[in-house]
Amino acid sequence: MIHAVLIFNTSGVPRLTKFYSPLQQSSQVLVKKIFSLISTRPASLCNFLDAPELEECLGRKDKPDEKLRVVYRSYATLHFVFVVDSAESELGILDLIQVFVESLDRAFENVCELDLVFHFDEVHHILGEIIQGGLVLETNVDEIDSQVQVAAQARKTSFASANPLSLGVGSGGVGQRGGGLQTPLGWLTGKLAGVGAR
């Protein structure tokens, strides 16, 4: 199963942390450890990493034999990191990261790091449509997107019914940005789907 999903940027600031098994230590320690493992690896190395170091943070005490592996992929300024056990196919997880990024891109129309910051709840909901309780729920980007839309619609309706005078301001749809400076990732994800992506 998938034990953790993390997104952090190139300076090691976590943008999303989601743990599917109980943590033995503080999440900051874990993020730091993973960041130090990954940030030093040049791009030509493989996307998988055995991580005996993590076992004391994430591993289960009753199952010391379990081998954890880190599968990660980097997009522009963000590292997407999955911690999985031996029941998952490594390449499958790599594909899943791609699906996750494509789904984020779909929901935020050219996703960038800022979206993940300001719409952290939305990011969690999208992740919830892909992975549930550490297992793959859905891998079809269209399907994921339509579920996210349904939820957004429901939120919008409930907001509108509570604030009849709001005239749709802050209607809670997906993909509205607070404005300001942006560092778009989106143009990259397009390319990343093609040749040479990691």
Residue numbers 177-196 binding other proteins by CB under 8 A: 177-178, 193-196
C-beta closer to other proteins: residue 74 or 147: 147
β-sheet with 69-75: strand ranges across: 14-19, 2-9, 78-84, 69-75, 48-50
Nearest approach in angstroms of CB 9 to other proteins is 12
**Per CB under 8 A, does 92 bind other proteins?**
yes
Main-chain dihedrals φ then ψ at residue 176, nearest 5 degrees: -95, 130
Out of 2, 34, 49, 185, point to the residue binding other proteins (CB under 8 A).
Answer: 49
At which residue do the structure tokens 């998938």 appear? 2
- C-alpha 99/C-alpha 87 separation (Å) is 20
Question: Residue 67 has what DSSP assignment?
Answer: P
Nearest approach in angstroms of CB 141 to other proteins is 8
Out of 14, 24, 110, 182, point to the residue binding other proteins (CB under 8 A).
Answer: 14
At which residue do the structure tokens 């349904």 appear? 150
Out of 34, 81, 82, 147, point to the residue binding other proteins (CB under 8 A).
Answer: 147
Q: Which amino acid makes up residue 37?
A: L
List the x/- string, 50-69, binding to other proteins by CB under 8 A: x-xx--------xx-xxx--
List the x/- string, 101-140, binding to other proteins by CB under 8 A: ----------------xxxxxx-xx--x---xx-xxxxxx
Nearest approach in angstroms of CB 62 to other proteins is 7
Within 13 Å and on the Cβ side, how many CA atoms surround 67? Answer: 9
- C-alpha 107/C-alpha 105 separation (Å) is 5
